[in-house]
Each structure stands twice: as C-alpha cells, then as structure tokens.
Structure 1
Amino acid sequence: MDKKKRIRKYRQPLTYPLRLHLLYYGKIHGQAKLIHLFMAYLCSCIITGQMKNKPETLNPNVLNYISWLELPKYAYVFQHESHSNHFHRLLGKQSYLVAQPLPAVKQDLLTAKNLLHAHYFAYPYGQYNDNTINILKEIGIRMAFTTKVGRVYPGSPEYELNRNAVYPYTTMRQFMQIVRISSAK
C-alpha cells in the first residue's frame, strides 16, 4: 500500500497497529535514521516559498528549512506535504489564509500543492475558516491539520485533524513520547 493510502486508511476503522504521525518539522537531518529504525512514518508539511535550492547549515537554535535537494533524500521516512507557499504570514493577528482575497488564497495553496504533489495540508498558525476548507477540497487536498496538539483517531474530521510539533529544542525523550516509540512492538 502506498504512503498516501496508509495515511488515508488511518481514518478507517483500524484492524492493525499503525504508527503514523504528522509532525510540524523544519530540518530533518539525523533524526530520519532514528525514525526509520522505529518504523514510524511522518509527514513534514513544508512552506515551499521559504525553501532554498541547496541545504542550509544546520543551526539547532533556529527552525531550519529543508531544501529542494534534500526532499528525495528523506522521502523514505517523511511524506512531504503542504504548509503553504508564501502565505505563512500574518496580517495583524490574522493568517493570510483568512485575511487575503479568496483567489489569492487559492493560488497560493494550489502552487504549494503542485510543487510538492501534496494531498495534505497544515494550516499556518492553525487559522482557517469554511472558505479555506472549501478551497482545499476544490484543489484536491484530502486532509488538513490544525495546530491542536494530539493524535488523530478514526472519525476525526478530515479538515480539522490534530498535529504534534517537533522544534529544534525538542528533546529526544519528548520526541519518543510524541511518536510513542517506547510502546513500539
């Protein structure tokens, strides 16, 4: 079963344990090997407008971004999905996704979707409305993640799914708790 179908199947009644997590994640580097060893499969939602052609020098004190060159390197662990193109911004306290005209929102979302061949989306700043959801459905996005922390269970609303964040300062112990590695069999 391909990776996208595995994520989609997560919304169906489960008959087997499935380790699948959406982590809001910037730079991947060495963690990919550890994750692969524990058979956890993760989505990395990417702000395509902030990506560079070449890898950045890793700085653990800031959120680094994956480069276009690195995408294939980490595809064995991370499914690369969308977090917007240039609309990961605020206008006052409102996300561009809810503050900008709908045609501009649609164009930004469609650009990011097409660049990554994405089917899933993480709302910048967790802000969205019915218009945002309708645009996501219209352009072929099948699921979207909020900033609400937690797991996704069968029956969770497809366009209001929980997610977990991994930051540069997240400890390995915290990371293992997020993906429940200690309970892996």
Structure 2
Amino acid sequence: MEPELRHLRAFVAVAEHRSFTRAAQDLYVAQQALSQQVKALEEILGVQLLARSSRRVDLTLAGSAYLADCKRLLAASTRATRHVRAVAAGEAGRLRPAYSLSAAYETLPELTDRLTRQHPGLKLETREIFAGDACRALRDDRCDIALVPAPPGPSLTIEAVWRTDHRHPATTHLLDVCADLYGAEDRPAAG
C-alpha cells in the first residue's frame, strides 16, 4: 500500500504546527482522525515520523527527511490540479490553429499576438493549409480550428471553422480575440 495525499497533508500539518490540536484545527478535522491518518502513514512506511510526548510533537530524523519530500509532492499535486483545470478551460495547453494564405499576413499575426498576451499558458502551433483542405485537416486531427476565407461576399472576411464533435476549449478565446479585433458583428462564423 502507498501513502495517499491525505496522509501527507496530515503529516505536514502536524510537523509544521508541532501539535495535533493546532494541525487538526488548521485542517478542519477531528484530532482523533488526524492522529489516525498520521499513524496509518507511519504504518505504511514502517517508520516513526513523529516523537510524541504529552506536551509536544517533534520530528524524528526520518520525519525531517520525509517532510521536505512531502511538501514537494503536495506542491506538485497543487500545480498539476491547477494546470489540468487551466487546460480544460482553454487557458493552458496547446491550440493548433490552421490558416489559409488569406489570413496569413493580417489576421493571423494580430490574433496570435493578442491570444498569447491574454493567455500566456496557451501554446500555439500554427500551420498553413489550403482553404479547401480545412475540413480534412480538422477531420484528420491536424488542427483544432481553421481560419479560412468566408464564402464570397461584398468584402474579404475570414471565417473560423472547427469540429462540432470535438471543440478545443481554447477556441472560445481565439473567437473572443477575433470579436475584439473585428467587432462583434464581424465575429468569424462557426461551421
């Protein structure tokens, strides 16, 4: 059996407070439950981490060594949680916009500049495609969104196209930047 994050949190709290009572208050758990978690951790590891007396709690040599590792693991867990939430919200991760030549010189540089400034955790992997290949590139998962010329009309506009069955969360940010650049009425159409 391996220690769980709850065991590590309990141990770190007790080690930092040097008191089960204060650690339990800090974690909003019953002191008995906290004591059981630390004891279970010591049993899992097969070592004593804390030297307990009626008046204080001290770290053993093994406890001191383990404390630093526990803090790193808990910090890594927190970073991983934040990162996965940011990716799910389209704030981080990778977005692969494809663009046709008509978007290459004016639209794409402005879009990528603003998008990377507003969402620095988002990595863009742009690729040029022929406008007629946009649907195939999306279907073959070579891009997440395509910027291609809109159907003929009074002026040349760029249209954003994406798969309806698999929309990357960051496409919303790209579309918002488009709306900021071109006005809400000229926001690229979805397809």
Task: Report the TM-score range of the alignment, normalised by the length of the smaller protein.
Answer: under 0.3
Return the TM-score normalized by structure 2: 0.26
Larger fraction in strand: 1
Larger fraction in helix: 2
Return the TM-score normalized by structure 1: 0.26
Greater relative contact order (CA < 8 Å, ≥ 6 in sequence): 1
